[in-house]
Amino acid sequence: MSATPVPAIAPTPSESDREPLRARDLAIVGFGRVGRALARRLEQQNGWSGSRRWRVVAALDTSGAWTDPNGIDLVAALGEKDREGRLGNRGPVRGTVGEVLERVRPDVVLELTRGAVVSGEPGTEHILRALAVGADVVTANKSPIARFYAPILDEAQRRQRSVRFGTTVGGAVPLLSLAPTLLAAAAPVRVDAILNGTTNFVLQELARGVGFEDAIGKAQRLGIAEADPSWDLDGRDASLKAAIVHQALFGSELAPEAIPCDRVTADTARRVPPEQRGRVRYASVTTILPGAAEVRLRRIREGGEWDVPGSTCLARVETRYSGTFWLRGPGAGPDEVATALLAELESLERGARASWRRRPADLPPSDVAAKTPIPRSGPVAPPSRIATLRIGGHTARGLRR
Ligand SMILES: NC(=O)c1ccc[n+]([C@@H]2O[C@H](COP(=O)([O-])OP(=O)(O)OC[C@H]3O[C@@H](n4cnc5c(N)ncnc54)[C@H](OP(=O)(O)O)[C@@H]3O)[C@@H](O)[C@H]2O)c1
């Protein structure tokens, strides 16, 4: 059977008249699963379009920096990392992440490290260094944003740069990306969401009768769970995500530690009465309201709308003006996250510097929050230690509190 020729699509006059976009210089800090997936996509895009739209001038991991002011050979860098497990130092620039950024001066820094959840490092320092050298930042690293949301965005605003972090919650699902635009207009009042793929996967396996340790082992073999999955199973990963969503949608801080969390244990599945097994299971559902959030094990109907597979993210957003939005899609996975990072690069290119911060006047009426079935937690003292964080020898003014 002969293939049907695909008709060529002529560009519309407005497209063909457009000025060609200048190549943008990127630095990828963190060349792990997500960093490499992004590098592969950038390489593909450049190959397809024939133009080097995105030029990666630096890629960094813990072993060093691969730099080239004309754009590094991504195929070679990916091959080296696959073979040796490290990038090493190649190119004219060596030094710490901050020193490399200072020398290569990229337009955009992609901060894709996996850091300490409590301190927010090393991601916080990387983001601040990037802003200090005049770069915009796109990050998938949730701990800096959950810990230092306001100071980081203040610093970005002071430097007239943008920090985009849509992939830190829900992977490729545009819950955060819609926060400053569609959802801000609709005025969210409540979010219920499945935000942690590891926990969701383990709970599904438990419901199928798989033992607790076996379920965790399977998640680890599939790359869904970390070597130490306790952070996910305790609900603390979801509490970090809830803190980010709270800031983005309701405009104020909520400390992750103030968010009560249920823990998945070997007993969780046994709490479903025998006569209901096969029809009902537990899911870890994060609820976020103005001023409060919680991560709870809730009973859901198997086969129902909340029974989503493994790493799928599901979010139901109730709004004041436009009813309820359901968002569902890939909540994790290097390729899926790389797709969303590319989308964030695109929106930066198009000048969409929409801020995630909202004015207090946009907050829903207090009676909505008063109806909350979950405990209220008060405002959180801003982090103090970040005030001592030094950038290029001076303490950033925007970070003092
Ligand atoms: N994987 C997902 O599905 C997913 C989904 C949403 C968000 N995220 C977030 O995306 C980020 C990256 O995830 P991942 O799965 O790619 O993690 P990963 O595979 O562990 O990669 C992390 C990378 O960061 C590098 N790194 C760590 N500390 C560094 C430092 N101080 N300086 C330079 N590089 C450093 C590591 O270097 P080495 O290679 O030398 O160790 C590694 O290349 C994480 O914050 C994660 O939470 C991931």
Structural domain contains residue 2: no
Domain encompassing residue 131? 22-171+384-399
- Burial of 47-63, coded b for 16+ CB within 10 Å and e otherwise, reads eeeeeebbbbbbbbbee
Read off the pLDDT of residues 197-209 as tens digits, 9 standing for 90 and up.
999 999 999 999 9
Overall domain count for the chain? 2
What pLDDT, on a 0 to 100 scale, did the predictor assign at position 4?
53
Q: Are residues 134 and 248 in the same domain?
A: no
Separation of 289 CA from ligand 1 center, angstroms? 30
Question: For helices 142-158 and 236-250, what crossing angle results, to 10°?
Answer: 30
d(CA 380, CA 290) in angstroms, rounded, equals 13
Separation of 17 CA from ligand 1 center, angstroms? 40
Q: Are residues 297 and 395 in the same domain?
A: no
Determine which residue's CA is closest to atom 5 belonging to ligand 1.
332
pLDDT band at residue 365 under the 50/70/90 scheme: very low
Read off the pLDDT of residues 235-245 as tens digits, 9 standing for 90 and up.
999 999 999 99
Structural domain contains residue 225: yes
Contact in structure between 138 and 131 (CB atoms under 8 Å): no
CATH number for the domain that contains residue 71: 3.40.50.720
Q: Are residues 162 and 199 in the same domain?
A: no
Compute the mean pLDDT over every residue in the chain, rounded to the nearest whole number.
84
What pLDDT, on a 0 to 100 scale, did the predictor assign at position 274?
86
* C-beta 290 within 6 A of ligand 1: no
* C-beta 122 within 6 A of ligand 1: yes
pLDDT band at residue 356 under the 50/70/90 scheme: low
Q: Are residues 158 and 70 in the same domain?
A: yes
Contact in structure between 80 and 63 (CB atoms under 8 Å): no
* C-beta 114 within 6 A of ligand 1: yes
pTM, two decimals, is: 0.86
Separation of 184 CA from ligand 1 center, angstroms? 30
What pLDDT, on a 0 to 100 scale, did the predictor assign at position 125?
97
Read off the pLDDT of residues 237-290 as tens digits, 9 standing for 90 and up.
999 999 999 999 999 999 999 999 999 999 998 888 888 888 999 999 999 999
